[in-house]
Amino acid sequence: MSLLVFMEIGKEVELKNFSRLQIGGPARDLVRADTVDELIDAAKTARELRMPIFILGGGTNILWSDNGYDGLVLMPFLTFMEIDDTRVTAGSGVEMANLVGSTVSRGLAGLEWAGGLPGTVGGAIYGNAGAFGGEIKDSLLEVVSLDLDSFKLKHRLAGECKFGYRTSVFKSERLNEVILHAIFKLTHGNKLYLSRKMDSAINYRKATHPLEYPNIGSIFKNVAVSGIDRNLAKLYENAVKTDPFPLIPAAYLIDKAGMKGARVGGALVSPKQPNFIVNVENASARDVLRLIDMVTEKVYINCGVRLEKEVRIMA
Ligand SMILES: Cc1cc2nc3c(=O)[nH]c(=O)nc-3n(C[C@H](O)[C@H](O)[C@H](O)COP(=O)(O)OP(=O)(O)OC[C@H]3O[C@@H](n4cnc5c(N)ncnc54)[C@H](O)[C@@H]3O)c2cc1C
């Protein structure tokens, strides 16, 4: 029996269709909830059936297992957006491209750095997505989530979300919560200037990312200069970029370790952007994991730096 037929996409749905890397076996059940009530119903039913629940946004930062997921994949498809002067409320299922485009076209400043950032508002908050000197936390006022144990709403001001480099309280404390919506505080700006900034971010991504192949963005976090040995930091000082603080790009280290273009099965370390692993030919999650391990090891041996994963690994 299906969980809740009216909003369900299905049982045994292939998760490769729900990851930008196009890898992943079947989910026991997958529900797309269009309202908070539907979300609560699906989560409560899963709890009664003792099924684990995984919250999925746009699938742009996730590696599923070849064996799939033995539980409920729950997609909060909450796509409302309300713009009241500089205050913007967006459901967690809103695509970042939609949020950025809608605010920039009204001359609202604060999210233009996110031009071309894939994924949803929920996913961006979960991982405190950032690029070109901006981070999602910078323009956030409040996040509202649903606790999947008590089924109570939680309101957190941005300052209470423990945001850090590619992390938040939802990620670092593995909270059993679904982000429902967020309130952003933007400022009035020049529409033309903001559009140019958004477009230049989009164009930069098109020129430098291997978008022609399935991928899930940067596999590894860039390396904080403050977190490594002073001699190593000196060795790599010419590669350091400040975004949002002094970092050594993981791509630089992967290249230096000779791993650009390394391949396992159908998975390839992109020669165009070595921090991306692309699916060039029916790659499996096993191929990707093996390649991630190889890159981690080679970078450690050749560069003395231990890379940390940025993507969510469910394999
Ligand atoms: C081509 C490309 C370029 C990218 N560039 C960048 C970049 O410049 N900067 C950057 O930071 N990232 C980048 N990414 C990674 C990715 O786009 C971001 O991490 C994005 O914010 C993930 O959003 P998502 O909705 O796809 O999340 P998903 O991949 O669906 O999920 C990611 C994590 O968020 C959790 N999550 C999602 N929605 C919710 C919710 N509503 N409530 C609770 N938890 C939730 C999931 O459980 C999962 O753990 C890039 C990815 C690609 C493919």
pLDDT tens for 28-50 read: 999 999 999 999 999 999 999 99
Residues belonging to the active site = 166, 218, 310
Q: Which fold is adopted by the domain 5-76?
A: 3.30.43
CATH classification code of 212-314: 3.90.78.10
Closest to 302 (Cα-Cα) out of 262, 246, 273: 262
Beta bridge partners of 74: 31, 55
Q: What is the CATH number of domain 81-193?
A: 3.30.465.10
Chain centroid offset of residue 180 CA: 16
pLDDT in tens, 76-110: 999 999 999 999 999 999 999 999 999 999 999 99
Q: Which stretch of DSSP H or E encloses residue 44?
A: helix 36-48
CB atoms within 10 A of CB 239: 16
What integer pLDDT is reported at residue 8 of this predicted model?
Answer: 54
User: pTM for the full model?
Assistant: 0.95
Gap between the Cα atoms of 123 and 10, Å rounded: 22
For residue 6, report the distance from its CA to the centre of ligand 1, in Å: 27
Q: Measured from the CB, is residue 179 less than 6 Å from ligand 1?
A: yes
Distance from the alpha carbon of residue 39 to the mean position of ligand 1, in angstroms: 20
Supply 103's token pair.
């605010």
Domain ranges of the chain: 5-76, 81-193, 212-314
Instruction: Note whether 184 and 121 are within 8 A (CB).
Output: no
Q: Kindly give the interhelix angle for 191-208 and 96-104, rounded to the nearest 10 degrees.
A: 150
Instruction: Assess whether pLDDT exceeds 60 at residue 6.
Output: no
pLDDT 10s digits, 116-149: 999 999 999 999 999 999 999 999 999 999 999 9
Which range has the worst mean pLDDT, 120-124, 236-240, 258-262? 236-240
Q: Nearest-CA neighbor of 150 among 171, 178, 186, 173?
A: 178
Q: Which residue's CA is the closest to the ligand 1 atom numbered 1?
A: 217
Q: 149-158 contacts: CB < 8 A, separation 24 or more? A: 149/176, 151/40, 151/43, 151/44, 153/180
